[in-house]
Chain A
Amino acid sequence: MIYGIFGFWRILSAFCLVALFLRVAGQASNQSITADEAFNYNNFLRSSLGNVFTAHYDANNHVLQTALCWLSIHVFGVTELSLRIPSLVGSILYFYTVFQLASIRFNRSFLHLVATLALASNPYLLDFFTVARGYGLALAFLALAVLAAVRSVSCDEANHKLLFYAGLWSALSVASNLAFLFPAGGLQTALLLSLLRCSGQQRLGAVVLSFIDSAGGPFLLWSFLILVIPLLTARPDAFYFGAQRWHETLGSLVSGSFFHNLEIPLLSRWPASFWHLCAMITTTFAPVLSGLILVAALLLVFRPSSSGHSMPTLTGLTFSVTVALLWLAHVLAHVKLPIMRTGVYFLFLFPLALLSFLPCEKDSPAGHLGWAFLPIIVFLVLLYVPQANAKATVDWRYDAATKKFAETIEMIRRYTASPNIHVGGSWVFEPTLNFYRVTNHYDAWQPIVRHKSTDAADFYVLTNTDRDVVKTLNLRVLLDDPVSKSILAVPSQMVVGRGK
């Protein structure tokens, strides 16, 4: 009965999404705090809500996400999970949207499952629903905006309510993470072009005005209202994180997606082949496919209006305009290109654009292209699914064991009854160790400051790249975490249990 109403593949998709949510929630509750989350907490969340908006701007402050985190920790108390509740809510929104988009495009077919997995199971993308950063929430809002836009352009007449939601969700996406200004801007532009394409007898000015009133205006206004005060203190050097070449952008996204934990059947047995494949995707396949998406979108734009083509046109244009905006900003304003997490929206837009071309009319050029995209989509899914057992995030892998290290340090301190300890080591652990020092009330710890990793300390928390310090200072390794590759060490002359 249920199969009859919902369809087998849709139910399976739903189960997959529930499973993905459970996996994300589990990781969010168990995973150690990461450096960027801890930095955010230390700098923006410890005082009033107003401070989120008026503190000196830092690119780490993803304003809407930070504000929601503030609310969350003031309701539920400060824990890793409470900080991550907004991201988890974002994951629910995202999975819901993915399901809806797949349903719009593929109804009850097998491709529904393929689309769901292609859009939702990328392990690198899932990382951002497990940490209290704005990327996950921004992605969820962007997906909602795309959904609203797809629905609005699919209607015979412009649906102002849906257009408004497309603008509103886009604005919230930008407010959650400023890096999403480009895809949100791309979506708005694509939406306008799609509306113009479907305008029929309406005057150009009237369509543009209608778009501004319904979507563009609210997008601009809500983004402005949330971000204007924080951005007043922004300086160009705050936006230091980025790439100089597209190759770096693609490489960072490809390796993040395929090399999450290198447990892909077959490929993991031949690492050289795997890396060759990554390099091929970065240098050849992805650029070629991007070009094809643009060509297919343009083909549809200049064809006579058809409601069946609205989604591929919109998604193809969104992807293409986003790339174009990034390129223009890079060339004209020297804005850095996205890299790693700042380009995470491509992991949604790119497969979505590919997927949306699949059910195009078989005899159309875009339809031919669409079917050529199917093997690629299936290939992506085959690469994503085996990596679902992630134990840490890619971007903050070094922090995977920081919580364990902090607890161990405190346990030893209590055991030795040291009244005052100095934790040192690699500087990247400064925010996370301070986070645990503050939230767990490790009052005997001196505030952790950014020193050289070789400076004298009672405990050393070192990254994989700072392992040489163990030899240099003749340290004794207490813990060596296999996931993060980070280590906890103490000076070799330290006698555990001395205080007792």
Chain B
Amino acid sequence: MSVVLWAATGALFTGAVSLVLGLCILRQLAIRLTRVEQCVFGFLIGNAALSLVVFLFTAAYLAYAPVFVSFGLLTIVFTFIRRRSSPKVACSICVLPKLWAVLLCFRYAKLYLCRALGPEYSPDGTTYHLALVARYLREHHFPLITTNFYASFPEALEMLFLFAFSIGRHSAAASTHLLFLFATAAALVGFGLRFNVAKAGTAAAVLFFMCPIVGFDASVSYVDVAEACACFAVFYALQIWWQDNNDRVLVVAGIMAGFAGAIKYPGFIAIPFALGVVLWEVRKHRGRWKRCAPLVLLPAIFLVAPWLIKNAIEVGNPVSPFANRFFSNPFVHVSFEEDYRRQLAHWNDVTWPEVPLEVTVRGARLQGVLGPLFVLSPLALLGIRLPICRQVLLTGLVFGLPYPGNLGTRFLIPVLPFLTLAMSITLSYWRSALPAVLLFNNLVCEPSALEKYVSPYAMRLERQRWDETLRERAEPEILATRIEAYSMARFIDQNLPENTRIFDLGDGMPAAYMRQARDGYFEGALNERMRVNIWSGLFKDYQPTWRHTFNFKLRRLLSIRVRQTARSNAIWTIAELRLFHNGQELIPQPDWQLNARPFPWDVALAFDRNPVTSWRAWERARPGMFVEARFHRPSEVDRVSIDGPRDQEDMRLVVEGEDVTGNLVTLSSEAMAEDIPLPYGWKRMIGKQLKLNGYTHFVISKSGGGYNDIRDHPAEWGMTLAAERGNQILCELQ
């Protein structure tokens, strides 16, 4: 029970501090808002501010629970004192939403609360959202993380999670996210009241509130509902600005746009949107844009910049893990980014015609459903008769632009407030349609109904489990039944020292419940290289058993370059590149200048005389790629041999050299191919590589290739079996 109380306290304290901070900022801006709007914008602006404060504390090595609590208490006290003397902002309209709407939402609110306060076992929440938060709190700052690209995502909401987590642990973070659901619903109600679509606003709030994917997302430590809330607040603030003609509201819009971008990359679109709207509106007032544009742009940049700067410093790419072609860096491969984007854009091979039914009623392949009512979403278009609805639809369209990049149902959440509002406006013109629709949604969106028609694999809430929420059983026991890898994570947490570093070739682990560092096999460049190493012990295609030898007339050269001229889906790989003079190998010298394009950072691995390590281009093969060795003194070379795996059949290589006069000459384009054996103790060499790269342990799950081989013969890999839990094994590297 105390866990629940602490969790609730953590979330409520975070919400309260945010609200107080936000109201304080709103008072400084002296904007005329309704009471509902004051609460909504106060809460959201405060969240943005608190998030920034927590970021600064963490960056300054001050991420301690007492620091956060002290700051929160001081903020509340300070604001309370100042409030007495500050002038009251006028409140124009305030009507409570109708009772029936509250009644319809009540059981859903109970359901969400039950889940949010319960043990946190959401996949992304335990794998990285809270795993990173827990690590920041443990280390009291932002550690340099280059082997987990999730750490490069904007983390404005995670900063709020950190604040709440420091008080009430995991469930406090999830409950903090839930506050944004209430805020979004309130924002929709407030919007309806202000713009004379009160019924539609209230109905939209209820529809949004009951939407299955929204309910699920808001009840766990994800970030999508917060992003949706911020996006809608941008639109809302811009509408108020347009209606009241008060430029100070633009600051609110800017803060919201920045907050949206700082929560999640797709939220970045809020910034150009806000700027675009402002510039469009002031186009007829010469020079006004000079005053308005900074008002919206500066707060947005102020909120987003910390995350971009952090990434630029840590991983050399402000928008990591994306745009790696523009911001070349050794931490995320271009090939990974392309695969990742392709996977997100084609979840489970879903085609566009399948998307409408998948996101509304099926849910297995796109991870969750919006609910059957959204099959009728085209009806929203009928609302174009009203100017306000046209703007709502257009804005929804803008916030839907990133959706093709990730077809998951969750990624439609930022569009939902707009969609529900537009649908509700249309339905409000139809006699008795709104109550019918809300009642229908109330019946078909609850967990017991969803069980009947939604795929069991869809992300959705189960029925209320107050026994779990109240921890009638021990939390570890509950988590062990909920998370497949939890028992292994708990074993690691309890039995291994904190400086353990684990390479995870499994399906992911709930790192939020471990003190030890864990690197997933796809989460960074080094991780991918380690994965390829391990696979070379399991799959022939990855083994460097193919040698290409280029013989040519003895030449005295300043440098030698191997150029790839073909276009292929394969990734050009060189395990070893050797140079010969009259049959004698030229041993690579430390003063040789090695270079490669692309991915020059690993080029030394092609010359290290260790066949386990290899240089890979980490991009699909294309003409112009090369590997080069520049000698300190001119050297005579008459043969080049290249060892690599057998998947290089499509490559076309040309050996070129720079002669002593500085001319680049083609030495050979004809290679002799031959098979070569693997060195003895190959698997042990792989294990050694893992160890050399700083890993102490290795986890693999049944679903990963090689599970049986490693479990049955760990010694061959230079490991010892440390534990077997569920479908995973843990090995210690020798």
Contacts and interface: CB of A to CB of B under 8 A. Distances in A.
Interface of A: 50, 54, 160-161, 164, 209, 212-214, 217-218, 220-222, 224-225, 228-229, 232-233
B453 A54 contact: yes
22 contacts: A50-B449, A161-B431, A164-B431, A213-B429, A217-B379, A217-B426, A217-B429, A218-B430, A218-B431, A218-B433, A220-B376, A221-B436, A222-B436, A224-B375, A224-B376, A225-B440, A228-B361, A228-B375, A229-B453, A232-B372, A232-B453, A233-B453
Interface of B: 361, 372, 375-376, 379, 382, 385, 426-427, 429-433, 436-437, 440, 444, 449, 452-453
B493 to A, nearest CB: 43
Contacts of A164: 430-431
Nearest to A160: B431
Given A209-B382, A217-B426, 7 more contacts: A50-B452, A209-B385, A213-B429, A217-B430, A218-B433, A225-B437, A229-B444
Contacts of B433: 217-218, 221
Contact of B372 (A213, A217, A229): A229
A492 to B, nearest CB: 50
Contacts of A229: 372, 444, 452-453
A434 B179 CA distance: 54
A225 B453 CA distance: 15
Q: Chain A: interface secondary structure? A: helix
Contact of A221 (B361, B437, B453): B437
Contacts of A217: 379, 382, 426-427, 429-430, 433
B382 A212 contact: yes
B357 to A, nearest CB: 9
Most chain A CB atoms below 10 A, which of B361, B382, B440? B440
Nearest to A161: B431
A472 to B, nearest CB: 46
Contacts of A225: 436-437, 440
B379 to A, nearest CB: 7
Nearest to A205: B385
A220 B382 CA distance: 13
A212 B427 CA distance: 11
B372 A228 contact: yes
Contact of B449 (A54, A218, A224): A54
A45 to B, nearest CB: 17
Nearest to A206: B385
Nearest to A221: B433
A218 B449 CA distance: 24
A221 B376 contact: yes
Most chain A CB atoms below 10 A, which of B361, B385, B431, B437? B431
Most chain A CB atoms below 10 A, which of B429, B430, B436, B440? B430
Contacts of B449: 50, 54
A214 B432 CA distance: 11
A50 B432 CA distance: 23
Nearest to B428: A213
A94 B420 CA distance: 38
A92 B375 CA distance: 35
Nearest to B382: A212
Q: Which 6 pairs across A and B sit closest by C-beta, in order of nearness? A: A54-B452, A217-B430, A213-B429, A164-B431, A225-B440, A228-B372
Contacts of B379: 217, 220
Given A217-B430, A222-B436, A232 B382 contact: no
B365 to A, nearest CB: 16
Nearest to B379: A217
A102 B427 CA distance: 35
A367 B274 CA distance: 65
B456 to A, nearest CB: 14
A391 to B, nearest CB: 42
B377 to A, nearest CB: 12
B430 A221 contact: yes
Nearest to B451: A54
Contacts of A220: 376, 379
Contacts of B453: 54, 229, 232-233
Contacts of B372: 228-229, 232
B436 A213 contact: no
A31 B189 CA distance: 56
A160 B379 CA distance: 19
A263 B492 CA distance: 88
A404 B372 CA distance: 46
A160 B436 CA distance: 18
Contacts of A161: 431
A164 B433 CA distance: 11
A221 B427 contact: yes
B247 to A, nearest CB: 37
A420 B437 CA distance: 51
Given A50-B452, A54-B452, A225-B437, A213 B376 contact: no
A116 B407 CA distance: 58
A210 to B, nearest CB: 10
Nearest to A228: B372
A150 B87 CA distance: 63
B54 to A, nearest CB: 45
A160 B426 CA distance: 16
Contact of B430 (A50, A213, A228): A213
A160 B431 CA distance: 9
B383 to A, nearest CB: 11
A221 B372 CA distance: 12
Most chain B CB atoms below 10 A, which of A209, A218, A220? A218
Contacts of B385: 209
Nearest to B441: A225
A54 B443 CA distance: 12
Contacts of B429: 213, 217
